[in-house]
Structure 1
Amino acid sequence: MNDISDYKKKKKTYFLNLYGLRFVAALFIFVFHAFTLFRENWIDIHESRLYSYFISKGQLGVNLFFILSGFLISYLALEKNSDAQPYTGWRFLKQRSLRILPLYFLFVGFCYLLFPLAPWGETPIYDISSFYSFTFNFEEIETGALDHLNYLTPLWTIAVECQYYFLVALILFLFRKKTAIAFYLLYPLLIVVSLIFRFLHGEETDIIYYHSFSVMSDFGIGGLLAVSYYQNKIQRYFKSLNLPIRLGVYLVILSMLLFQYQIFTPALRWGERFVIGLAFGFILIDLITNSKKTFFLEHNNFIRKMGISSYGFYVYHVFVLYTLTSLTLYFDLSYSPLLLFLYISLSLFISLGWAKISYRYFELPIQNYLRKKDIKL
């Protein structure tokens, strides 16, 4: 008997708020990169309070992405596994690969084959095989410090994401009839291993940031929340929270993020990602449980649409930042606050527009083709 067969049959679930949350995460990452990458050509704010308290928090968008992925992928696996048709590991891998890899490989191919032909183009220094083997996060640890182009760097998260997909596929292959139980065993293990790994490598910045073992607690937190939510174990608790309590929790989370570096000293750095992950997990469940009471993410049509194409926005945005920076150098434009404003505004506009075009004319046609072939994403 399937371990989730006792739970009520469910229609396919859409968490509309999470489209908006995904866009917010991507926007935070954009802001972080806009002010930190290529700063030698603009303005170095690394030592300023503006960076310490606000801009540096943009990199936490990656944490949020991983938690969202752990939640959505795990919930998808449980939901589809309750259908009459078995949801096998191979079927899962095929669907996820055909969703994210066409754009991934298209962009990598463009960066290696076409962009070096541009007047300011260069061939990336990375071993291209690391992209096709989904080990680029390890290549970034070894080689990233030598890379001044940076526009391929965001793909380290796609590599980690694919590694997570392989793990979920293995669970579906070995424990298809006991998926929820397997998740309950797997995800705490990921969290514990991540905490131990971070404790052992706390002073190695690149390893702490890019290594799979260091970031896997995010998937663990998202996955555990997905299983609990699917089995209706936490909805009542979150629905019982009144507005003052919820606002109080959000205030505590905001304060923790603002004073992140003061709270998580080097001695406590090993637990930083886990604690922040719990905070983001609270926000995630609160958004989908109290969607009618929470902010504007579900009902804001612009943010929701941007969330749908946020994958392309994330992939393209550093390339756009690099290209516009190169153009200012090519035309010998002197720095000014107005030029910096135009640079960031134009980068955001082009990145969003390119992502929308990419989704409409490349990603969406692939999805529609798969639907015609009865492969539902």
Structure 2
Amino acid sequence: MHRLPGLDLLRAIAIVWVMLFHSFLIGGLGDGWSWLEDNGWAGVDLFFVLSGYLIGSQWLKPLADGKAPAFGRFYLRRALRTMPAYFAVLAVYFALPSAREAPGIQPLWQFLSYTINFLIDYRHNQAFSHVWSLCVEEHFYLLFPLLAWWVARRGSVRAFVALCVLLLAGGMALRAWLWLHMGERPFVEVIYYPTWNRLDGLLAGVVLAALQAYRPELWARLQARANVALLAGLALTGAALAIFQDRAGLLASVLGYPLLSWGLALIVFAAASPACWLGRHRVPGAAWLALISYSLYLDHKLVFHAVQTWLVTYPQIHGMAAFGLYAACVLAGGALLHYTVEAPFLRLRDRLHQRDVARRTLAPTSAGA
């Protein structure tokens, strides 16, 4: 799938929003900006919708065209995309304890097995805790291709709709039960982090991908009304964020996540259309931020902590000047990780893909000879 300006813009917004949320570690932007920072956690939900749509499109389009699923290629591409930069940052966290943004950290094996979002002791081990969302993504990468292949083999729209309804309603019911029975355990451990509670955004993105792959004519007709979808998505997202003013409350836990996810899905749907205001023009810098967004996500807390430690000896740098320094260093740190670790493995992934395509193209000719 070629890069779309609207989706690049959303990815850039998502990563900036997430980093603003985590800026509480360094004091934030200051008075008057809490409305923006406090809702920054929703950037993760935007990433989930984008991931569901983009990964879903990559997997569902070949299935819709009747092609055999390529599980090995899919898993290899995902591994080369996510693991090198993750392991590099993980090495820093465990080799240099002083670099951590918080003193406590979960055991290494939980990071390596992508189980931190199930097992974390959040009160005592907050360092690198934001990779809970990467764990959710990895679980999605592992299970979605198998589940999608199973549904596609049945060739039943009813089976797909039933599965979506089951995941949506089941998630709401599960979060309600967990909320009522979580006792003194932290909200993030019981409701916010576990994969089974955070499928709404991924599901909404996959539904978009399924509509595009299996009903392309309907997709094209709806895309002509992209700006209407954008306005509806903004309204729905605003309503969800209003519910999330009590972020750990029962209503937010049960209804907030699906409402937010479908509002964001409408925005993603609109951004994928060249007819939409979001996708009509390229915003300067958005494509670059989208390009390095994964590296920014991984290492921004390390950079926050490093700059904060350095600024202790320079009290004259404070306020917006300090925040500007944080921003510049975070961008530099993300770019460094991307270009030195992430990008080489992405190039390797592309070379392997091209070699695989060439081999499959030549195979019939060789067999015929």
**TM-score between the two structures when normalised by the length of structure 1:** 0.79
Q: Point out where structure 1 has 5 or more consecutive residues left out of the alignment.
A: 1-11
The residue number in structure 2 matching 1:37 is 25
Cα distance in 1 for residues equivalent to 2:197 and 2:8: 26
Cα distance in 1 for residues equivalent to 2:248 and 2:118: 26
2:336 aligned partner, one-letter code: W
Cα drift, residue 139 of structure 1:
2.9
2:25 aligned partner, one-letter code: L
Cα distance in 1 for residues equivalent to 2:280 and 2:301: 25
Is the aligned partner of 1:323 residue 2:312? no
Checking the alignment, whether the CA contact within 8 Å between 2:92 and 2:99 is kept in structure 1 is no
Checking the alignment, whether the CA contact within 8 Å between 1:187 and 1:219 is kept in structure 2 is no
Cα distance in 2 for residues equivalent to 1:360 and 1:216: 26
Cα distance in 2 for residues equivalent to 1:213 and 1:229: 26
Q: Point out where structure 2 has 5 or more consecutive residues left out of the alignment.
A: 359-369
The residue number in structure 2 matching 1:283 is 267
The residue number in structure 2 matching 1:162 is 138
1:95 aligned partner, one-letter code: R
Checking the alignment, whether the CA contact within 8 Å between 2:118 and 2:193 is kept in structure 1 is yes
- Within the candidate set 103, 109, 112, 1:132 is matched to 112
Q: 1:212 to 1:265 in 2, by over 3 A?
A: closer
1:192 aligned partner, one-letter code: A
Aligned length: 348
Cα drift, residue 62 of structure 1:
0.5
2:94 aligned partner, one-letter code: Y
Cα drift, residue 223 of structure 1:
1.1
- Within the candidate set 302, 308, 332, 2:291 is matched to 308
Cα drift, residue 135 of structure 1:
0.8
- Within the candidate set 217, 240, 246, 2:200 is matched to 217
Q: 1:15 to 1:55 in 2, by over 3 A?
A: same
Counterparts of residues 8-47 of structure 1 (less than 5 Å)? 14-34=3-23, 36-39=24-27
Is the aligned partner of 1:367 residue 2:349? yes
1:223-273 Cα deviation digits (max 9, x unpaired): 1121112223344234246x5x55753552464366344587834121101
> What secondary structure, in the 3-state scheme, does the structure 1 residue paired with 2:179 have?
coil
1:266 aligned partner, one-letter code: G
> What secondary structure, in the 3-state scheme, does the structure 2 residue paired with 1:21 have?
helix
Checking the alignment, whether the CA contact within 8 Å between 1:184 and 1:224 is kept in structure 2 is no
Is the aligned partner of 1:59 residue 2:41? yes
> What secondary structure, in the 3-state scheme, does the structure 1 residue paired with 2:118 have?
helix
- Within the candidate set 200, 207, 210, 1:227 is matched to 210
Checking the alignment, whether the CA contact within 8 Å between 1:193 and 1:213 is kept in structure 2 is no
The residue number in structure 2 matching 1:145 is 123
2:114 aligned partner, one-letter code: F
Cα drift, residue 277 of structure 1:
0.7
Q: 1:360 to 1:195 in 2, by over 3 A?
A: closer
The residue number in structure 2 matching 1:236 is 221
Identity of aligned residues (%): 20
Cα distance in 2 for residues equivalent to 1:297 and 1:318: 33
